[in-house]
Amino acid sequence: MTAPEPAAPPRRGRGRPGHDQAAVLRTAVALFNRRGYDATSIGDLAAELGVTKSAIYHHFASKEDLLRLALDDALDELTAVVSAAVSDADGASARDRLREVLRRSVEVLAAHQPAVTLLLRVRGNTPTEVEAVKRRRWLDDQLAGLVRDAAAEGALRDDISPDLVSRLLFGMVNSLVEWYRPEGAHDAATVADAIASIAFDGLVRR
């Protein structure tokens, strides 16, 4: 995977914050995505950056610390988007909130592609991975609930299980990590509109 967008700067970690720390995290995420987290060592990361291992440990306590910061970056963004969608504070219909969460999820994936790529590949051995998988499952459950609410409103066809609809819609969104390129032919807003159009109205010309 390429890493076309910088990850957000870390919000925790040892030592003074600044460019160095963000650059280390960004490179770590790119390496984890390219080689796998388990197969990447702090030594590999130091070699890639052309610095000593102790220069990395100045900023980060451990490899797992780097993983946690990257996964939290993706999860915090996605959690904010999903929490807003499942709250009906503004009185919007579940159908409109579902359309909005599809659109905003695409924006998060496009803006945080390396961190979300890492998140989607996590399988869960370390405590950090177990926690991330738990947070992902919470997101999936909330989204499935929102699809159920939209179906219960009578807005959606009822011949496909809401759980399956949720899997497929967010499968379409998540596929962005595999093929979306910020410098490519389609910007995030165009992709978001395409997903919402296909999902709600389908491809057939009417």
Q: Does 133 bind a copy of itself (CB under 8 A)?
A: no
The Cα–Cα gap between 110 and 203 comes to: 23
Long-range contacts of the stretch 135-140 (C-beta < 8 A, 24+) = 135/75, 135/79, 136/75, 138/79, 139/75, 139/78, 139/79, 139/82, 140/166, 140/170
Out of 19, 54, 178, 183, the residue judged to bind a copy of itself by CB under 8 A: 178
58 versus 142: smaller Cβ distance to a copy of itself: 142
**Least separation in angstroms between CB 94 and a copy of itself:** 12
- C-beta separation of 97 from 58 below 8 A: no
Q: Does 80 bind a copy of itself (CB under 8 A)?
A: no
24 versus 177: smaller Cβ distance to a copy of itself: 177
Angle of CA points 36, 39, 40, to nearest 5°: 85
Interface of this chain with a copy of itself, residues 142 to 171, rule: CB under 8 A: 154-161, 163-165, 167-171
**Least separation in angstroms between CB 136 and a copy of itself:** 11
Which residue's entry shows tokens 């904010």? 80
Angle of CA points 54, 60, 65, to nearest 5°: 135
Q: Does 190 bind a copy of itself (CB under 8 A)?
A: yes
How many residues in the chain? 206
Q: Does 179 bind a copy of itself (CB under 8 A)?
A: yes
Q: What is the DSSP letter of 110?
A: H
**Least separation in angstroms between CB 99 and a copy of itself:** 10
Two tokens, residue 61: 């306590």
Question: 89-128 mask for a copy of itself (x: CB under 8 A)?
Answer: -------------------------------x--x-----
- C-beta separation of 59 from 14 below 8 A: yes
The Cα–Cα gap between 8 and 71 comes to: 11
| Count of positions on this chain that bind a copy of itself (CB under 8 A) | 46
Question: What residues line the site for a copy of itself (CB under 8 A)?
Answer: 1, 34-36, 38-39, 120, 123, 154-161, 163-165, 167-172, 174-176, 178-179, 185-186, 190-191, 194-195, 197-206
